[in-house]
Chain A
Amino acid sequence: MARSDLVSGNVWEQYSKKVQSRMDNPRAMGELTEEDATRLGGKLIVADFGAESCGDAVRLFWVVDTATDKIIDSKFKSFGCGTAIASSDAMAELCIGKTVDEAIHITNTEVELFLRDDDGTPAVPPQKMHCSVMAYDVIIEAAAQYKGVERSTLQNQDIICECARATKADIISAIKTYDLKTLDEIGAKTKAGTYCKSCREPGGHEEREVYLIDILNEVREEMMQTSLHEAANTTATGENAFDKMTIVQRIKAVDAVIDEFIRPMLIMDGGNMEIIDIKENLPYYDIYIRYLGACGSCASGSTGTLYAIESTLKHKVDENIRVLPV
């Protein structure tokens, strides 16, 4: 929630002029028949996608020149809202003159860009991107028919967010590269899940097999396991930097140095010390200690001795360690 969410319902005022004009007067609306195909000297393709239950359904007609695979003419019919009609219209028009292989690369995001009045302003509001997805799906359907192949062979099976055309690989890479921890952070980096929101988590407009939340949890778990393994492996070789260590490893590392270099001196004077806690206070690591025995009443505990302990740990463990008596 923020200022922009406080007045809702603004859908139509966010339609670009181009979307509005295509809703009022679609240019590529209509049908193509076998007679048209014969007249134009090509092959007729009729492809359907969507269903009324989803709120959108589209039928795409192509006449394709079989010699060059070029789409000679393209028309559509659509059951749907303004966005669905305008994006189907733009999509059908964009197909004309392209080869079938080129047409496969017309995506809903490209159609949306084509429908913008200016580069910086989206042609439709975010939740309406969903209604333009089938414009892409129906092209794949038509191309599959023309080529006589399964549509799955033409489609990137890896798409998680259809509105933003973000693949699973894109999303995983973004989570790892930018250390993303929430769905909103994923949205900010990849736009995935920011349109119709179906893919974010169960309970949205459409059911999915995989949701962003699953991917996020999976990748975060994997990242944690990886860092644990790295920490374990590098400790074994004695090369691990303090900042890469787990909390247990840090305690062990600090304790080992204390045991070897500090504690014997304190015991000689009838005292001792223990580690109470290690807190990350980046860029510092604050190590809280408690003096035991004679050290507890020693005046040097907050001056000379403390300085010596801190200096030893800085030198032996990490530059950024600070030692604080409790």
Chain B
Amino acid sequence: MEVYLDNNSTAPIDPKVKDILCKTADIFGNANVIYKQGIETRAELNKAYDVIYESLNASDDDDIVFTSSTTEGNNAVIKTFLDAFLKGSGKNHIISCVAEHSSIKSPLAYCKTFGMEVTYLGTDVNGLVSIDELKAAIRPTTALITILTASNETGAIQPIKEMATIARGAGVPFHTDGAQAIGKINVDLQDMGVDYFTWSAHKFHGPKGIGGLFIKAKAPFVPLVHGSKNVMGGKRAGSIFNNGIFAMAKAIEIANSEMNVAYIKNHIGQLRDKLEKAILAIPDTKSYIPKEHRLNNLVVASFRGIEGEAMLWDMNKNGIYISTGSSCSSESLEASAVVEALGEKVEIANATVMFALSRFTTHEEIDYVIEKLSSIVTRLRAISMTYATQQAFSVHEREE
């Protein structure tokens, strides 16, 4: 049996979505030509737009710009304010948080090279950013607040609506990286009250290479990709992956439906709980982030004495695919900053793995993982020096 549990990194395509991708592959016309092929493409595009606006509850006054990915959307939003700063807006400050993905942290680091300042709010042991700290961080020169909806690594869901209200009160535009939101929690853009929301289709069983950027009416925006004004009003030039858009509309329609969100919460949540319980039944394990504000598809767990990449190795041998925050598994040899941000020591990041379920995960699959888990843990702990000596790894009783 093979069990894919790295769904927060990327998720397999839904057969229904794949069907649309294949069936529309021959619709090739440019969306802006006046003749027959243009008419065909526009008809499909308009259908897709209708579905996406409806599903995410965007107002017709708002813009949804299609992008290649969340990363592109995040860059476009942040660089809009860099552009303003460079043209003399006087707003030199951006607020973000330590749990962000590199697609936020890298463009922010880039902004700093031009003299902008960035405040990274910390997260508490529950993975949450403090509302009070957010309020206190706002300055008269704050250009943008960007806080992710939920972390791919810890699964902690931030109180975005409350934060957006604070931002609005302070007159500061608010962006949230929603890469982990669609398909896991209900996304209602009007209700969230954000100015910008970004996503990628592949996180919720859509194709790779297509995503979206929601821009609330009147929110400032400077394109990242300049070119023809014929495509999305010039907000994102270049021939976009139209068939991807058609497929993404279907993926959003399914993922953000009440039925699916309820299924993830109840059914997948139960499967997740079953897995988590089995993990915690193994001695010297720990899971992170209270369930009340954790993504329902995720278990973040540490296995004392087992290094993350070694865990992935044995899991992979058994046909189970997961991810880790361990330093050894990354090119840079850096442990996950997000797991460290939980207030834990770096040791925890090196022994932490993530199990991310999807709506396609089955009872049989979880039973199989539970069955394999105990023998894998036994084998790896037999090799482990630190587990044998019961030393180090202070994670389970943190020093005060």
The answer to whether B333 touches A127, judged by C-beta atoms less than 8 angstroms apart, is yes
The answer to whether B346 touches A80, judged by C-beta atoms less than 8 angstroms apart, is no
The answer to whether A82 touches B383, judged by C-beta atoms less than 8 angstroms apart, is no
Known contacts A59-B385, A77-B383, A78-B383; A53 and B334 CB within 8 A of each other: no
Within 8 A of A (CB), among B309-362: 309-310, 313, 316-317, 326-329, 331-335, 345-347, 350-351
Q: Which residues on the A side are within 8 Å of B317 (C-beta)?
A: 24
Within 8 A of B (CB), among A163-188: none
Q: Which residues on the A side are within 8 Å of B334 (C-beta)?
A: 205
Q: Which residues on the B side are within 8 Å of A210 (C-beta)?
A: none
Q: A52-B386, A59-B388 are in contact. List 9 more A-B contacts (CB 8 A).
A: A9-B331, A11-B329, A26-B383, A53-B347, A55-B328, A56-B328, A57-B392, A204-B333, A205-B334
Listed by A's residue number, 30 A-B pairs whose Cβ atoms lie within 8 Å are A23-B313, A24-B317, A26-B383, A31-B388, A52-B307, A52-B351, A52-B393, A53-B347, A54-B327, A55-B326, A55-B327, A55-B333, A57-B385, A58-B385, A77-B383, A77-B385, A77-B388, A77-B389, A79-B305, A79-B306, A79-B307, A79-B386, A80-B310, A81-B307, A81-B313, A81-B329, A128-B328, A204-B333, A205-B327, A205-B333
Q: Which residues on the B side are within 8 Å of A26 (C-beta)?
A: 383
A276 at the interface (CB under 8 A from B): no
Q: How long is the Cα–Cα vector from A262 to B281 in the complex, in angstroms?
A: 97
Q: How long is the Cα–Cα vector from A56 to B384 in the complex, in angstroms?
A: 10
A298 at the interface (CB under 8 A from B): no
The answer to whether A29 touches B387, judged by C-beta atoms less than 8 angstroms apart, is no
Q: How near does chain B come to A1, taking the closest CB pair, in angstroms? A: 13
What size tier do the contact residues of chain B reach?
A: 20 to 34
Q: How long is the Cα–Cα vector from A134 to B11 in the complex, in angstroms?
A: 37
A200 at the interface (CB under 8 A from B): no
Q: How long is the Cα–Cα vector from A57 to B388 in the complex, in angstroms?
A: 12
Number of A-B contacts (CB under 8 A): 91
Q: How long is the Cα–Cα vector from A237 to B327 in the complex, in angstroms?
A: 60
- Closest A residue to B328 by beta carbon equals A81
A192 at the interface (CB under 8 A from B): no
The answer to whether B326 touches A82, judged by C-beta atoms less than 8 angstroms apart, is no
The answer to whether B332 touches A82, judged by C-beta atoms less than 8 angstroms apart, is no
The answer to whether B309 touches A81, judged by C-beta atoms less than 8 angstroms apart, is yes
- Closest B residue to A30 by beta carbon equals B382
The answer to whether A81 touches B310, judged by C-beta atoms less than 8 angstroms apart, is yes
- Closest B residue to A24 by beta carbon equals B317
- Closest B residue to A60 by beta carbon equals B385
Q: How long is the Cα–Cα vector from A175 to B269 in the complex, in angstroms?
A: 60
The answer to whether B310 touches A82, judged by C-beta atoms less than 8 angstroms apart, is yes
Q: How long is the Cα–Cα vector from A52 to B346 in the complex, in angstroms?
A: 8
Q: Which residues on the A side are within 8 Å of B329 (C-beta)?
A: 11, 81
The answer to whether B307 touches A80, judged by C-beta atoms less than 8 angstroms apart, is yes
Q: How near does chain A come to B399, taking the closest CB pair, in angstroms? A: 13
The answer to whether B382 touches A29, judged by C-beta atoms less than 8 angstroms apart, is yes
Q: Which residues on the B side are within 8 Å of A24 (C-beta)?
A: 317
Known contacts A23-B313, A80-B307; A131 and B331 CB within 8 A of each other: no
A67-91 Cβ-contact flags toward B at 8 Å (1 or 0): 0000000001111111111000000
The answer to whether A78 touches B309, judged by C-beta atoms less than 8 angstroms apart, is no
A241 at the interface (CB under 8 A from B): no
The answer to whether A78 touches B331, judged by C-beta atoms less than 8 angstroms apart, is no
The answer to whether A57 touches B386, judged by C-beta atoms less than 8 angstroms apart, is yes
Known contacts A77-B385, A78-B383, A205-B333; A52 and B310 CB within 8 A of each other: no
Q: Which residues on the B side are within 8 Å of A57 (C-beta)?
A: 385-386, 392
Q: How near does chain A come to B213, taking the closest CB pair, in angstroms? A: 26
Main secondary structure of the interface of A (DSSP, over half): mixed
Q: Which residues on the B side are within 8 Å of A12 (C-beta)?
A: 313, 316
Q: Which residues on the B side are within 8 Å of A267 (C-beta)?
A: none
A48 at the interface (CB under 8 A from B): yes
Q: Which residues on the B side are within 8 Å of A130 (C-beta)?
A: 333
Q: Which residues on the B side are within 8 Å of A196 (C-beta)?
A: 333
A131-143 Cβ-contact flags toward B at 8 Å (1 or 0): 1000000000000
A281 at the interface (CB under 8 A from B): no
A51 at the interface (CB under 8 A from B): yes
The answer to whether B385 touches A78, judged by C-beta atoms less than 8 angstroms apart, is yes
The answer to whether A85 touches B310, judged by C-beta atoms less than 8 angstroms apart, is yes
Q: How long is the Cα–Cα vector from A130 to B333 in the complex, in angstroms?
A: 9
- Closest B residue to A82 by beta carbon equals B313
A35-57 Cβ-contact flags toward B at 8 Å (1 or 0): 00000000000001001111111
Q: Which residues on the A side are within 8 Å of B306 (C-beta)?
A: 79
Q: How near does chain A come to B6, taking the closest CB pair, in angstroms? A: 13
Q: How long is the Cα–Cα vector from A196 to B327 in the complex, in angstroms?
A: 12
- Closest A residue to B333 by beta carbon equals A205
The answer to whether B389 touches A53, judged by C-beta atoms less than 8 angstroms apart, is no
Q: How near does chain A come to B26, taking the closest CB pair, in angstroms? A: 30
Q: How long is the Cα–Cα vector from A26 to B386 in the complex, in angstroms?
A: 17
Q: How near does chain A come to B246, taking the closest CB pair, in angstroms? A: 29
Q: How long is the Cα–Cα vector from A9 to B323 in the complex, in angstroms?
A: 13
A8 at the interface (CB under 8 A from B): yes
Q: How long is the Cα–Cα vector from A23 to B316 in the complex, in angstroms?
A: 13
Q: How long is the Cα–Cα vector from A29 to B388 in the complex, in angstroms?
A: 12
Q: How long is the Cα–Cα vector from A23 to B376 in the complex, in angstroms?
A: 13
The answer to whether A52 touches B347, judged by C-beta atoms less than 8 angstroms apart, is yes
Q: Which residues on the A side are within 8 Å of B307 (C-beta)?
A: 52, 55-56, 79-81, 84
Q: How near does chain B come to A62, taking the closest CB pair, in angstroms? A: 15
A1-30 Cβ-contact flags toward B at 8 Å (1 or 0): 000000011011000000000011010010
Q: How long is the Cα–Cα vector from A8 to B332 in the complex, in angstroms?
A: 11
Q: Which residues on the B side are within 8 Å of A127 (C-beta)?
A: 331-333
Q: How long is the Cα–Cα vector from A131 to B329 in the complex, in angstroms?
A: 11
- Closest A residue to B326 by beta carbon equals A55
- Closest B residue to A206 by beta carbon equals B333
Q: How long is the Cα–Cα vector from A24 to B306 in the complex, in angstroms?
A: 15
Q: How long is the Cα–Cα vector from A221 to B347 in the complex, in angstroms?
A: 41
Point out which of A29, A58, A79 has the most chain B C-beta atoms below 10 A from its C-beta: A79
Q: How long is the Cα–Cα vector from A131 to B313 in the complex, in angstroms?
A: 15
Q: Which residues on the B side are within 8 Å of A76 (C-beta)?
A: 385
